[in-house]
Structure 1
Amino acid sequence: MLSSIADRVSKGVQRYLPDAFVIAVLLTLFVFIVGFFTNPAEPITLFKSFGDGFWTYLAFTMQMVLLLMTGMVLAAVPFVRKGLESLSALANTPNKAYILTFVVTAIAYYINWGLAVVVGAILVREIGKRNQKAHFPLLVAAAYSPTVLYTAGLSSSIGLTVATEDHFLEDMMGVIPTSDTIFAPSTIIIFAVLFVTMPIFICFMAPKTNIKPYLANEMNEKKQSKEPETADTPAQKLERTPVLGITIGAIGLIYVVSEFINGRDLDLNIINLLFLSLGLILHGSLGQFGEAFKEASTSTSPIILQFPFYAGIIAVLASSGLGQMIIDGMISVANKETFDIFTYWTAGIVNMLAPSGGGQWALQGPLQVPAGMELGVEPATIAMAVGWGDAWTNLIQPFWALPILSVVGLHIRHIMGYCFLLSIWVGFVTTILLYFLY
């Protein structure tokens, strides 16, 4: 029955869901229209807040782009890529294909969501070529759906933000160590339950007929390998020597290790430097690293294009009072026992308009944290509830699916039907666990 439902939902989504950039523009217009009704006396305020907010998160955007690109470059290291290709040979049945894709990509998401994008893309392409019985859109959905787990991982935007000194809410909630957020027992339990149940749900959605196999896309299948040039000139020798990459990468690793020894917690900057340094060392030369970085950059263009629009939306949500209305409405019916659940639901709703863990935290944190603390809720718990809600509706907000889709050559409408049904399951399970664990 679930397979039949998934098929109908998928067909409906493919018919009516527009491009992700169109969705971003429609959401922008939506918050403007609602904002005019919310604050009709000063409509110019909305235009000003949109323009000012459009560039507010440039630094954070750069951090997110680097997080994606350094992860993708690391996944492009030859021995990592070959390992993924060998791993794909294990998926000799459709169900094995879906489960293997989910499990491997979920592990990658735990390490770094940028790494997971390329790990998932390479894996589904290799599995798709070897297993023509697997439904390729569902295979891609299986690679993308572990995005709901990233909030419990090492690249958790909110978890790392609140662990970073001088973060914007430090005066209110202090610096929260990752031992209280992403490494807390409650977080680990939620992660484990979703990790086990989601691939089972995906297998039940698998279509029995009309299987769409992998179709080679010339753009995606095109090999970028070139014949290595003979290092005749001094300039070419510098580009191809492994010494420079290993040396500068080692400098970065020494810094990272020394910071951990001195008690520094994980944050966005340290994660970026760690993956950048590993990539420099493992790629063998600055020329090879630069080529991998150049190829990775093509998948970041939708983020660079759309992120400012969502930053503008966040600013309009704040200036119009719409964001506060959503949050206040939830808080008004919450108590200490249910605050985290309502925070989770609210974060899921807000994420549809502002799909960025860090950007959403900038909007929701200043309102959610003092309200929760007044009820006696721990700040770390509030942060993780927002994080789980943000990750939950990433399944049905196309923004973060853009990089992997650009790599595999599919459109958001091809996978969104399956992601929609998964979001129902994830929302149900996480709500129950939040109630009992937090």
Structure 2
Amino acid sequence: MLNRIAGRFSKGVEKYLPDAFVIAVLMTLLVFVLGFFMKPSEPIELFQSFGDGFWVYLAFTMQMVLLLMTGMALASVPAIGGGLEKLASLAKTANQAYVLTFLVSSAAYYINWGLAVVVGAIFAREVGKRNKNAHFPLLVACAYAPTALYTAGLSSSIGLTVATKGHFLEKVMGVIPTSETIFHPGTITILFALVITMPIFIVLMAPKKGIIAYNPPAKLPELDDKPSETVNTPAARLENAPFLGIVTGLIGVVYLIFKFINGKDLDLNMINIGFLSLGLILHKSLFQYAKAFKEAASAISPIILQFPFYAGIIAVLQSSGLGESIINGMTSIASKNTFDIFTYWTAGLVNILAPSGGGQWSLQGPLQVPAGMKLGVEPSVIAMAVGWGDAWTNLIQPFWALPILSVVGLHIRHIMGYCILLSIWVGIITTVLMIFVY
């Protein structure tokens, strides 16, 4: 029954849901209209905040671009590709393909969400190549679905922020150790409940007919100077010499080892340097690495185009007071026993408009924490409620799906029907468990 509902729902979403860029523009116009109602006497402030905020994500955008391109270039190394093929070949049936893709992506999300973006996308593609009975849009949804779990992982932006001495809310809530947030028994309980039940829900949604198998995109033209591979000139020998890539890659490896020894945590910059260094070492030459990098370039245009719009949206939310009104309106009716639930729901709603864990915490934390503490709610519970809400509606927010979709060559409409149904399930499970575990 669920697979029939999912099939019809997915087809409806594919028919009526526009492209992700159109969604970003529509959301921009929506926050402007609502912002005008919030501050009708100061409309120019909205334009100014949007223009100033438009550039806030430039560094993050470049990080994501490099993450995808270095990750895909690394995956094209024969040894890495062979390992992925071997792991992907473990899925003999369509249901096994869905579950295996979900679990591999979940493990990557637990380690680091940035790592998971590349691992999940590439693994879904590899499984799709080998299992033509698997519905590829659902397979990609499986790779993306664990984004709902990331707040319980080792790279939880809110959990790590409040555990850092000197964070911007330290005077209000103090420094909260990770034992009270991401390693809290309640957090672990919700994490395991979702990891167990989400694959079951996915399998029940799986279509029995109308299967869309993976269809590899057409390859880009070769580099114009490809003949230099076989020409015996000084320039060609340098281009094809393995030692240049190995030596350069080792510089990055030494840097990473030094940073880890000195207590540096894994972040996007560390992952990018790691991917880049390993790619340089493992590819046969700089020429081969440049070729792999060029082939990966076609995946990044949606990110470059759309991320600045979301940065502008977040800026308008803050300057117009719209974000503050949403937060205050929902939590004003909460009691001590329901505050974490209302915080979770509020965070889920705000995340649809402001899809950034760190950005959302800077918007929601200063309002949510004092209000909850006044009711006697532990600040660690408030932080995790915001984190779970942020992760929850990532499932229906195109912002975080863009990198994965870029790698696999699908549009948001192809997976969103399944993601919406999954988000309903995640919302129910998390809401019910939060009543008992925090």
Shift of 1:98: 1.2
- For 1:83 and 1:68, the matched residues in 2 are separated by 19
Q: Distance in 1 between matches of 2:222 and 2:107?
A: 27
Once the two structures are overlaid, the 10-residue window that deviates more, 231-240 or 301-310, is 231-240
Q: Counterparts of 1:407 and 1:291 in 2: how far apart (Å)?
A: 17
Find the counterpart in structure 1 of residue 59 from structure 2. 59
Answer whether contact 1:70 1:115 (CA < 8 A) is retained. Answer: no
1:61-105 per-residue CA deviation (whole Å, 9 max, x = no partner) reads 444444444544444443222112122222222211211121122
Aligned to 2:111: 111
Match of 2:190 in 1: 190
- Cα pair distance change 1:83/1:227, threshold 3 Å: farther
Q: Confirm or deny: 8 A CA contact 1:154 1:266 kept in the other structure.
A: no
Query: Aligned pair count?
Result: 437
The CA deviation at 1:28 is: 0.8
Aligned CA distance change for structure 1 residues 436 and 387 (closer, same or farther; 3 Å): same
Q: Distance in 2 between matches of 1:230 and 1:296?
A: 24
The answer to whether the 8 A contact 1:180-1:380 is kept is yes
* Cα distance per residue 1:337-388 (max 9 Å; x no partner): 3332222211111111112222222322332233334444444443332222
Query: Per the alignment, do residues 330 and 193 of structure 1 end up closer, same or farther by CA in structure 2, a change over 3 Å counting?
Result: same
- In structure 2, what residue type is equivalent to 1:25? V
Aligned residues of 2:68 and 2:118 also touching (Cα < 8 A): no
Alignment of 1:199-210 (within 5 A): 199-210=199-210
- Seen in structure 2, the aligned counterparts of structure 1 residues 128 and 269 have a Cα distance that, compared at 3 Å, is closer
Q: CA deviation at 1:329?
A: 1.5
Q: Which residue of 1 aligns with 2:318?
A: 318
* Equivalence for 2:418: 418
Where does 1:344-423 land on structure 2 (aligned, <5 Å)? 344-423=344-423
Structure 2 SS opposite 1:218? coil
The answer to whether the 8 A contact 1:71-1:113 is kept is no
Contact kept? 1:75, 1:118, Cα under 8 Å: no
* Distance (Å, rounded) in 2 between the aligned partners of 1:255 and 1:353: 38
**Residue in 2 that maps onto 1:11:** 11
- Residue equivalent to 1:211: 211
Match in the other structure for 2:86: 86
Moved more, 268-277 or 378-387: 268-277
Any idea what SS the aligned residue of 1:413 has?
helix
**What is the identity, as a one-letter code, of the residue corresponding to 1:127?**
V
Please, which moves more after superposition, 55-64 or 343-352?
55-64
Residue 432 of structure 1 deviates from its aligned partner by 2.1
1:16, distance to aligned residue in structure 2 (A):
0.7
8 Å CA contact 1:72–1:114 kept in 2: the answer is: no
The Cα shift of 1:123 comes to 3.2
1-side partners of 2:12 and 2:204: how far apart? Answer: 19
For 2:79, the aligned partner's letter is F
- For 1:24, the equivalent position in structure 2 comes to 24
Change (3 A) 1:125 1:260: closer
Amino acid across the alignment from 2:135: H
The one-letter amino acid of 1:135's match is: H
Identity level (%):
72
Q: Give a deviation string over 1:200-249, Cα, whole Å, max 9, x none.
A: 101101122222233343259x899x788258555555555454544454
CA distance in 1, matches of 2:277, 2:171: 33
Cα-to-partner distance string for 1:8-52 (whole Å, 9 max, x where unaligned): 111110111001111111111111111111111211121111112
Structure 2 matches for 1:117-266, cutoff 5 A? 117-162=117-162, 168-169=168-169, 172-173=172-173, 178-219=178-219, 229=229, 232=232, 236-266=236-266
Counterpart residue identity of residue 113, structure 1: W
For 1:143, give the aligned amino acid: A
The answer to whether the Cα contact below 8 Å between 2:302 and 2:406 also exists between their aligned partners in 1 is no
Secondary structure of 2:229 counterpart: coil
Whole-angstrom CA distance in 2 between matches of 1:157 and 1:333: 28
State how far apart, in whole Å, the 2-side matches of 1:114 and 1:246 are: 25
Mapped partners of 2:167, 2:415: distance in 1: 36
Q: Distance in 2 between matches of 1:75 and 1:170?
A: 41
Moved more, 49-58 or 116-125: 116-125
Moved more, 68-77 or 323-332: 68-77
Aligned to 1:303: 303
For residue 399 of structure 1, report the CA deviation from its aligned partner. 2.0
CA distance in 2, matches of 1:428, 1:50: 35
Supply the AA of the counterpart residue of 2:112.
N
User: Larger deviation: 168-177 or 8-17?
Assistant: 168-177
For structure 1, list consecutive stretches of 5 or more residues without a partner in the other structure.
Answer: none
Q: Check whether the contact 2:162–2:175 (CA below 8 A) recurs between aligned residues.
A: yes
Q: Distance in 2 between matches of 1:243 and 1:179?
A: 46
Give ranges in structure 2 of 5+ residues lacking alignment: none
Q: Are the aligned partners of 1:355 and 1:390 in contact in 2 as well (CA < 8 Å)? A: yes
For residues 278 and 73 of structure 1, what CA distance do their matches in structure 2 show?
10
SS at match of 2:300: helix
Provide the rounded CA distance (Å) in 2 between the counterparts of 1:315 and 1:411: 27
